[in-house]
Each structure stands twice: as structure tokens, then as C-alpha cells.
Amino acid sequence: MTTLRKHTLKYLAIAGILTVLISYVTLYSQNDSTNHIFPSRVEWLGESYPVKGGKGSKHEDSQPIRPWRQPDDHPISQLIERAQKGSIQLISKRSYTIEEASQAYRSRRGRHPPPGFDSWFEAAQQMGAMVVEDFFDRIHHDIAPFWSVDPTVMRQRVHTQPQLIRVRGGHASFVADFGNLPKRSDWMNLWTDVVKEISSHLPDLDMAINVLDEPRILVPWENINQYTATELGLRELFPSHEAKTEYTDYSDVDPESNDDAYQPEWIVDHPDKYWDYVQAACPPDSLARHLEAPASSTKESIDNLYPTSPLASYTHRGFVSNFTASQDACLQPHLRGLHGTFVEPGAIKTLDTLEFPVFSGSKLPQNNDILIPGAMYLTDETRYSGGRGHGGPWKDKKNGLVWRGVGSGGRSSQANWWRFHRHRFVQMMNGSAVSLLEKSSMTGPVGPEMTFRLDKNATSGGIVTSAQDRGELGASLIPLTDVGFTWMSCSPKRYNFWGRLVPTCAYTESYYALKPQMSMSKQYDNKFLPDIDGNSFSARWRGFLLSSSLPLKATVYSEWHDYRLVPWLHFVPFDNSFADIYGVLEYFQQHDEEARRIAEEGQTWAGKVLRREDMVLYVWRLLLEYARVMDPQRHRLGFVKDLTG
């Protein structure tokens, strides 16, 4: 009996392992992903393969997986492992029926889904979309504070704003006064087209749209903390017989005239003081809360603006382990002097009170705008999408890193340009500039106009590569990187004798030579595609993810898709100080197979969860939630059909 029992346990254990492996491959092939919080240990299971079976079926056949080799002790190898494990965590959460989706919603949100949830879910199934409730956390995070504001008041305030998308009787249109931003009509058309696709399924609503690059709402932490606590207390799974399923129409606000338009008290002056508002939105015990921004006129060494201790809170041995935290300036007060958004944004039109919702394409973690997919993600323009082709096979790519862009990122001037993030990245990728710094006897930059420093001691929180240890970092970059500006944004603008804009700035001509533009499709011939913030988010990011190259990302901006992309599995994150970029590049020069794998995983995944259909479905669900929080009956609006039969 003892021998039989041992054999039985052995076979049960083997069967259990095989079941887990087959379930992983099957479900991963059905479009599953994860968010950003991962456990500390992982197991790299291997490649996923196409599966047989009907769309949406839980029972699909899978082919055997091919195991990956055991990872080494490098911290990036460990982060890749962790990402794989993190992805597996959400695989089993996909909903296949309206009953499953509704239950997942109630469990995670503490209230019933909004009316119209069933039509949304049916459309998601027809579009072959993945429904994992966690992927929509962004919507609820953005909307939560507005449960503390009177919906009738918000309706009246939004109704007369200058840029609106309006839905009435199942039809969508936009009403807009673009002022000195006439080109932003393209953005409004793109966003309105998305709403038109789903307008027959939407209740009446007005959306105030932000047509600036920069986000608009920035409320102090104490106020937002109170609002979100109020929202938490309002959650209720009321009895199904009390549910109302019809939204309130807008007949009470439509007669309003623009003569009575609500005029918020926008903060529009002193963009160089924007950090003061960001700082107020940080928690009281955060590192950034009590640190003032460096004076814009101060020509201190960039060395004095770098962090003085290891960034342990969101890194693993120097490399980004928590991508969400890496975006948060409250945890990184040094960014107030190292990122153009905090030095001096290109424009400022901000509210520091929560008066009504505003929809934006991106925002800082501290902002209170409601996110929608960036307008340029909705266009087929090749300068953002790269066209129909997304690059050739990995083996045919040049072993190179390429970046082209405008010298934007804010309002750069003679007094502050050396603190801008794009300027720093371009200089850090210039082998000659790096060699100059290496040859210096200083530990910091050579002269006041250098934008970066080289860490020479790993114990101080820096990452010292083997090339740097040999004094050959600059030389190693020369054959690898092709990085440069195609146009410089100057403040004030610079004109020639004939009144035409000049593409260079007098104060940076000695440091940057312009490079010719390069199409996205040409960039895809290279293995490595870094993506850097501009005035806000980079509109090329979706195109990079859909390409067959390896996307690398540093950003302080949140976007709609953040909860469905897994760092180190679908892309490579790096720090906004860029202090880790040399270590990242060195690793992937030595681990080409890992680079290929992430590039291919990311491309495949983006093709499943970042489609236009996925953006439409995101906006659809967002607007159901938005319509509810703006409704006078919001506390009893809910979908309960699955409970009543």
C-alpha cells in the first residue's frame, strides 16, 4: 500500500504541474495580461503557441511549450522572471460570460455595474477582446473623486465649456472654440469619431475635452484624499429591486446659454512655478512635499540636482522594478530639476479645485483629469503609427538604438534648457559627449552646460557598466546609438531675416547638431527604440509596441493602457533620471535572446490589447461610468439583470 500510495502521489503531482502549464499557455493565447504589482519569485514557463478552439472558449487545446533556459543572477534577468510570473497571476481572471464579468465587477468595485454593462460586454465578446476587471482600474481611479461632487452642479458646469463632445439621443457631435489652437480640431474629430461608433449605446452626456498637451486638474493631496474616502463610503450593493436602469437625460441643462457659461478660475501664469502645484498634490510624508523647485535662473551644476541616495523604493539593484512608482515625482524630488514638465511646462491652464471632470490623453500621477486614449493613437498617420509594416524579423535588424525628435518637453530657454529631459537623453547617448566626461578628472559634468553626470561608484546608487569601468563607455556608444534632434524648440522663438522660424537655438548650437528626420518604418530596422516624454506623453509609444523592435520607456505620464502592459515582459522600463540606461543597454548586448523575446511578446500582446477596438471598448465603458457619476440618480443606477434572471 505504501508503494502504491507513493506512485499515486507522484502521478498526481505530475498531472497537476502539466495542468498548470497547459492552462497557462491556453489562457495566455487568449489575450491575458496583468498589471504592475508582481510577487518576488517567478518561474519562466516558456513560449506560447496558437491554440485551437472557438473564440472565448475556456477549453482549448495547446501545443507543448518550449522551456526557457534558467536565468542568471543579473537583476534584469530576475525582473524578467518576475514579470512572467506577474502575467500568470491575472490569467485566470478573464471573464467569459456576463455573469462572470458582473461578479468580478461587484467584487472589485463594491457596487453594481452601470446600466448598459451587458451591451458593452456583448460587444467586447464580439470584438474578441479580453475582459479582465483589473484592466479597468484606471477608469475607477480617475472617476472616484467625482462621487464627492454634486452631479447636478457638474452637469451645469461642463455643459458650457469651450471644447465639448456631446451625446444626445444616441448621436454624438462636438462643439468647440479652439482659440489659438486651430489644429486641435483634428484631435476633437478623432475622439468624436470614437464616441460616434458607440453613441447608440450611450446615454446623454457632455464631455469637457482638454486640447492642450499638458493635463489640467491638480488638486492638493488633502482634498483628494478626503474625496476618495467619501467615495469609498458611498459604495453599496443595494438590493436589485431598488436598481434604476435608465439614465437621466439632459433636458434640464440644454436650455442653458453660453452667455451664462461657467468660468473656472484657471491658473494660467508662472509656468515655472508648476512644481508648487505638483508638490501640493503629494502626500504630506512624501520626499517631494517640502522641497522647492530650483530657481530657473540658477546655473548650478546638474550634478547637484541628481538623487543623492539609491532609489530603493522602486528599483531592484538599480533597475526599475515598480514602473508605476518610477513615474511618480512625489517619490523622486530630484525630477523637479531633471524633467521639463516640472522645470517649466510649455503651457499652464490648471485648476487646483475639483469642479468638474476634464478628459485628457495623459496626465501626471498627481493630476485629476480622466484619461482617454491619446488622439494620435487613433490616427493612421505614419509618423505615429509607422504605417502598415511594423519592422522585419529580429535577426535582420541592426544592433542599434535610434531616436529622433524635437527639442521639446516644456518651455526651454537659455536659463533652463540644460535641465530638460530630452536634452539630457540626447547628450547621454552621444558617445563623444560621454567620452569627454569620462576623460575629465571631475565626478560631475564638464562645464555648466552638461546635462548629466556619470556615476563612478555603484554603492551610491549608480550602475557602473563594464565599459564604464574600463573608461570606454563613450567609445562603446558610438557604433550603437543614432540619437538626435530634428528641430529645437526655443523660448523665445527664433526667426531669420525673412521672418521664418529657425530650427536651432542660439544657446544650444554649440552642444547639439541637428540630424535628419527618420521615418518610423526606418527606425524599425533597429533593435532598440527608446521612448521619451515630450510636452506630455509620446504619441509614438503605441507604434513602438506594435513594432518588432524592443521598446524602452521612461515617462512621468500615466495613460489609459497602463494596467494592461507588463514591464520587462512587453517593454523595458528605465528611470527618468536615465541613470540606468547604460546598464540596460549593456545587459541586452549580452542577452540578445531576452531582447528578442520581450520585443516579440510585446508586439504580440499590443496586437491583442491595444487595437482600435480595445480603445473603443475602453471609452465605451468609461463613458458608462462617467454618465452614472454625473447622474442625479447615481446612487441607485445599476445593472442587475444577471441577478434577477
In contact, 84 and 569? CB cutoff 8 Å: yes
Q: Which residue has the higher pLDDT, 430 or 32?
A: 430
User: Mean pLDDT score of the chain, rounded to an integer?
Assistant: 87
Neighbours of 73 (CB within 10 A): 7
Is a pLDDT exceeding 70 seen at residue 308? Answer: no
Instruction: Say which range, 352-356, 375-379, 385-389, 459-463, has the weakest mean pLDDT.
Output: 459-463
- The span from the CA of 592 to the CA of 596, in Å, is 6
pLDDT, residue 304, reads 79
Q: Which residue has the higher pLDDT, 530 or 185?
A: 530
Q: What is the mean pLDDT of residues 601-619?
A: 97
Is a pLDDT exceeding 80 seen at residue 16? Answer: no
Q: What is the mean pLDDT of residues 249-267?
A: 84
Q: What is the mean pLDDT of residues 486-513?
A: 92
Q: Which residue has the higher pLDDT, 645 or 460?
A: 645
Q: Work out the pLDDT band at 58, boundaries 50, 70, 90.
A: low
pLDDT, residue 520, reads 94
Nearest CA to 338 out of 467, 431, 425, 258 is that of: 425
Q: What is the mean pLDDT of residues 442-464?
A: 65
Q: What is the mean pLDDT of residues 294-318?
A: 75
Q: What is the mean pLDDT of residues 510-526?
A: 96
For 375-426, the three-class secondary structure string (H helix, E strand, C coil) is HHHHCCCHHHHCCCCCCCCHHHCEEEEEEEEEECCCCCCCCCHHHCHHHHHH
- The span from the CA of 178 to the CA of 68, in Å, is 54
pLDDT in tens, 613-636: 999 999 999 999 999 999 999 999
Q: Work out the pLDDT band at 460, boundaries 50, 70, 90.
A: very low
Q: Work out the pLDDT band at 214, boundaries 50, 70, 90.
A: very high
Alpha helices, H only, 64-97: 75-91
Q: Work out the pLDDT band at 86, boundaries 50, 70, 90.
A: confident
pLDDT in tens, 145-185: 999 999 999 999 999 999 999 999 999 999 988 776 777 78
pTM for this model (two decimals) = 0.89
Nearest 5°: phi and psi at 449? -100, 0
- The span from the CA of 639 to the CA of 621, in Å, is 13
Is a pLDDT exceeding 50 seen at residue 30? Answer: no
- The span from the CA of 173 to the CA of 161, in Å, is 14
Q: Which residue has the higher pLDDT, 33 or 418?
A: 418
Sheet holding 171-176, edge to edge: 171-176, 163-168, 205-208
Which residues does residue 406 pair with via DSSP β-bridges, in sequence order? 487
Q: Cell numbers of 502, please?
A: 529657425
pLDDT in tens, 100-139: 999 999 999 999 999 999 999 999 999 999 999 999 999 9
pLDDT, residue 8, reads 40
Q: Work out the pLDDT band at 252, boundaries 50, 70, 90.
A: confident
Is a pLDDT exceeding 60 seen at residue 45? Answer: no
- The span from the CA of 84 to the CA of 552, in Å, is 18
- Exposed, middle or buried: residue 497 (CB in 10 Å: 0-12, 13-18, 19+)? exposed
Q: Work out the pLDDT band at 382, boundaries 50, 70, 90.
A: confident
Is a pLDDT exceeding 50 seen at residue 236? Answer: yes
Instruction: Say which range, 192-196, 312-316, 416-420, 528-532, has the weakest mean pLDDT.
Output: 312-316
Give the burial string for 199-230 (b: 16+ CB within 10 Å, else e).
Answer: bebbbbbbbbbbbbbbbbbbbbbebbeebeee
Is a pLDDT exceeding 70 seen at residue 458? Answer: no
In contact, 384 and 546? CB cutoff 8 Å: no
In contact, 115 and 246? CB cutoff 8 Å: yes
Domains belonging to the chain, first-starting first, are 2-92 (no CATH), 117-213+235-263+357-376+613-644 (no CATH), 381-612 (3.40.50)
Q: Work out the pLDDT band at 461, boundaries 50, 70, 90.
A: low
- The span from the CA of 626 to the CA of 642, in Å, is 22
Q: Work out the pLDDT band at 297, boundaries 50, 70, 90.
A: low
H or E segment and range at residue 481: strand 481-488
Is a pLDDT exceeding 90 seen at residue 299? Answer: no
- The span from the CA of 522 to the CA of 527, in Å, is 11
Is a pLDDT exceeding 90 seen at residue 293? Answer: no
What DSSP letter does each residue of 536-556 carry, written as one string? Answer: SS-TTHHHHHHSSSEEEEE-S
Beta-strand pair 550-554/319-320: unpaired
Q: Work out the pLDDT band at 66, boundaries 50, 70, 90.
A: very low
In contact, 361 and 372? CB cutoff 8 Å: yes
pLDDT, residue 508, reads 94
Q: Cell numbers of 210, please?
A: 482638454
Which residues does residue 573 pair with via DSSP β-bridges, in sequence order? 553
The pLDDT > 70 percentage for the chain reads 84
Q: What is the mean pLDDT of residues 561-573?
A: 97
